Amino acid sequence: MANDPVLIAGAGPIGYTTALLLARRGIPFVLFEAGDKIFDDPRAGTIHPPTLDLFEESGVTSAMMEQGFIVNNYHYRDRRAGLIADFNLNVLGDQTKFPFRLMLEQHRICYILRDKLKAMGQHNVHMRHRVTKVEQDADGVTATVQSDEGERAVRGSWMIGCDGGRSQVRKSMNVNFDGFTYPERFLVLSTRYDFAQHDYAITNYIADPEEWCALFKVPGNDGKGMWRVVFPAPPDASQEELFDESSVQARIQGFNRKEGAYEMHHRNLYDVHQRVASRYHDSRLMVAGDAAHINNPLGGMGMNFGLHDAFNVVDKLSKIILEDASHDLLDLYDRQRRTVAQEYLQRQTIENKRNIEQKDPVERENFYNELRGIAANRDKLHAYLLRVAMIEGFRRAQSIT
């Protein structure tokens, strides 16, 4: 068993991070990915300060900063009234070396992590390998993997599921995945049109009782910048209707009218959930990232939270493997990360959505006044940003024993 590798399902940013962290400790791994490549469709694009802190030692942070956009502030806006509050992240300079957000797409993070692994001589990443079944016993785990060569069983000492919301690893565990799904979906449109000329920040949350939106800029494949606009999409509309060129143009022109049509580069539609696994480990099986928790993307927290899971679980598992520490450390992983998923990740993201779509005009104005007061007071701003920049939640997890 000691010589069997740790098996990882899912080669997204969480799976690649898990692999890199194991490799840096000299622990063998095998990473399975159902897809045939790193997909570049618009997904997560925000990296928060604690994540940059965690990756610094490995050199990943510097590589990400070479490619990403540093965001020192972000806007909260009203679609009709304009700017409500401008939040200056630099006030967190006494808490982190990286008092800003970094805008960098999820797939580019995967490329960086993959290249780090290759530079270490680690090539145990198998694309087009779908994990279809996982079984465990007292001595290890057996994953059934489907590939172009057929089906085979792979033996491992432990297995970490980083395989998303439909995780096969989680389904093989004795856990529930309770929560709810929003009736509306999120429509993501990408364009090179430069919204900065209209005084938008690189990151903007734009409230409206009828059609809120989020607007932010990521580097794009050429590093010159791609703007994403996120809208709520009605549950009864088909993807064909929502992706129709006239429908897309009407929606984005309704947000920001300009001469001529917008050139659209991506159109994506996502179901949106709020769920947390009832446990993050079951004997030799563990989950991290979307396999353990899923949430709406307002605030850019989901991927970061999953990356924090990876650092936490690898730290615990490494002590078990290399130092013969008690398996009870995995109970601590569960307590630390699941507690803050419920207390911070779910609460904050649900609150973010509720606030941005608030229909009651009195409640909406009260919230705006609260934001204005926070932005205008350094102490309030400092406390507020500790929470929304994920520092408070990360520290809360570390404090749990």
pLDDT at 373: 98
Count Cα atoms within 13 angstroms, Cβ side, for 282: 19
* pLDDT higher than 50, residue 1: no
Q: Is 260 exposed, middle or buried (0-12, 13-18, 19+ CB in 10 A)?
A: exposed
Name the average pLDDT for the chain.
Answer: 95
pLDDT at 39: 85
pLDDT at 40: 83
* pLDDT higher than 60, residue 21: yes
- Pairing of the two strands 82-88 and 73-78: antiparallel
Closest CA to 385 of 88, 67, 8: 88
Share of the chain above pLDDT 70, in %: 100
The pLDDT tens digits of the residues spanning 267-320 come to 999 999 999 999 999 999 999 999 999 999 899 999 999 999 999 999 999 999
The pLDDT tens digits of the residues spanning 315-368 come to 999 999 999 999 999 999 999 999 999 998 888 999 999 999 999 999 999 999
Within 10 angstroms of residue 114's Cβ, the number of other Cβ atoms is 18
The pLDDT tens digits of the residues spanning 106-150 come to 999 999 999 999 999 877 999 999 999 999 999 999 999 999 999
pLDDT at 356: 96
Task: Transcribe 27-74 into DSSP letters.
Answer: --EEEE-SSSS---SS---EE-HHHHHHHGGGTHHHHHHHHSEEESEE
The pLDDT tens digits of the residues spanning 52-77 come to 999 999 999 999 999 999 999 999 99
pLDDT at 123: 75
pLDDT at 122: 76
pLDDT at 225: 95
Domains and CATH numbers, the chain: 6-70+104-180+274-355 (3.50.50.60)
Identify the helix (H) or strand (E) that includes residue 329. helix 329-340
The pLDDT tens digits of the residues spanning 224-274 come to 899 999 999 999 999 999 999 999 999 999 999 999 999 999 999 999 999
Query: 3-state DSSP call for residue 368?
Result: helix
